Amino acid sequence: MTTTTVLTPVAAGERIEAMDVLRGFALLGILLMNIEAFVGPLFAAITGLDPSLRGADRAADSLIYIFVQGKFYTLFSLLFGMGFAVMIARAHAADRAFVPFYLRRTLALLGFGLVHALLVWSGDILTVYALIALVLLLFRNTPQSRLPKWGIALYLVPVALMLAFGLLSTVAQGDPQAAAAMNASLAEQGRIMDEALQGQRQAYGSGSYAEAVAQRAEDLMLFLGHVGTAMGWQILGLFLLGAWFVRSGAIARPDGFPRLYAWMRWVALPAGLAMALASFWLMPTMDYARMDMAAGGAIALSMVGSLLMCLGYAAWLVRGLQSPRWAGSLGWLAPAGRMALTNYLTQSVVCTLLFYGYGLGYFEQLSRAWQVPFVLALFALQVVASRAWLSRFRYGPAEWVWRALTYGQLPAMRAVAPAH
């Protein structure tokens, strides 16, 4: 009897179905969140409600902001952390060194991210994930019981900073000299963001492909400048929370954690929604040139609410998988989730070719309300295509390349035919 010591890709039978279904669900939310940034300037899509909208467009914008914005990249980050924990467990089981394998996988992801960010779409999240994943290595031996403590603490760092900035800005208004300096700094920040937004409108709406690439390079530098601020802290915290869900068994054996999932469904989700609504009431549209207690409080409420709603969404989906009535329907999401990288990149390619000036040129022409059925139609096609593809092949195209770069060998692509 021999012991296998070679670390190989996860076989279909070894996968945790809930994670694949959650990834598929997250893909839908990610597209609902990103579509506004495909149709128009990226920086106009992250400021909340567009005050110029009316009627159905305003309703769609408000609902997506409250129920989608910030909730699904949070879910995707949790899933990345889950995958990290699965990789560690498999490396230990195979008695293989984890760090070299993980570094190859992360550097390959960084390559995907940079290509995506520079050549396809500047709203890329893969580059940020890869950079934060390098920091995640420091926590690989953290005891299981400490993972949620670290995760929540890190996630709350930018929440505390927003509240502190809001308080300091409000207090500074009492000192004319401090108020002038603060207002000048905020005005400059607003000017920089407005210039970037106008540059995106020109480059992506009517510019050539070369001009779009140049603008994407500028956007990337702006985004990377924020990795060490709110986004980076939050993503690292979410990675650790996701790792806990795997190491504790909560995602693979949800029946063993009834109180946790009940809390996520009946407490976290309603509380998160209340926070999202309060944030929307305080500041429906973000102003980069504004920071006071109301603005800081609105941002902080949105951050905490997004995490709680994300946990609630995940819990209800897991509950659906436990129900014979819903499990079959939700299972359709699993193939899309298994091909999450391919589908994420495909969304960007399809949408930029449809809307950008170097493509079909429908930039800023699809109304906010009609963006929703467009997303549903595109995602439905991805679900069907993913199911058909995985009936013939083991991996999605991007997943196959990622595995080849990670393992240093070409994985078998054809699916094994079922025995008769």
**Domain membership flag for residue 394:** yes
CB 20 within 8 A of CB 337: yes
**Domain membership flag for residue 413:** no
**Domain membership flag for residue 90:** yes
Q: How many domains does the chain have?
A: 1
**CA-angle at 35, arms to 32 and 36, nearest 5°:** 110
Torsion of CA 322, 326, 328, 329, to 10 degrees: -140
**Domain membership flag for residue 366:** yes
**Domain membership flag for residue 71:** yes
- Measured CA to CA, the distance from residue 119 to residue 34 in angstroms comes to 17
Count CB atoms within 10 A of the CB of residue 299: 22
Tokens read off for 194: 């407005």
Of how many residues is the chain composed? 420
DSSP annotation of 8 reads: -
* pLDDT in the model for residue 4: 39
**CA-angle at 247, arms to 241 and 253, nearest 5°:** 100
φ, ψ (nearest 5 deg) of residue 393? -130, 155
90 Cβ neighbours under 8 A, 6+ residues apart: 7, 10
CA-wise closest residue to 129 among 5, 286, 238: 238
84 Cβ neighbours under 8 A, 6+ residues apart: 133, 136, 239, 242, 243
Q: Residue-wise pLDDT tens for the chain (420 aa)?
A: 333 344 444 444 457 899 999 999 999 999 999 999 999 999 999 889 999 999 999 999 999 999 999 999 999 999 999 999 998 888 877 777 889 989 999 999 999 999 999 999 999 999 999 999 999 999 999 999 999 999 999 999 999 999 998 998 888 888 888 888 888 888 888 888 889 899 999 999 999 999 999 999 999 998 887 776 778 999 999 999 999 999 999 999 999 999 999 999 999 999 999 999 999 999 999 888 788 899 999 999 999 999 999 999 999 999 999 999 999 999 999 999 999 999 999 999 999 999 999 999 999 999 999 999 999 999 999 999 999 999 999 999 999 999 999 988 898 898 765 444
- Measured CA to CA, the distance from residue 98 to residue 103 in angstroms comes to 9
Domain span at 302: 12-407
**Domain membership flag for residue 96:** yes
* pLDDT in the model for residue 213: 97
**Domain membership flag for residue 419:** no
CA-wise closest residue to 66 among 269, 291, 238: 269
Q: CA-CA distances (angstroms) from residue 330 to 21, 23, 340, 381?
A: 7, 11, 16, 16
**Domain membership flag for residue 111:** yes
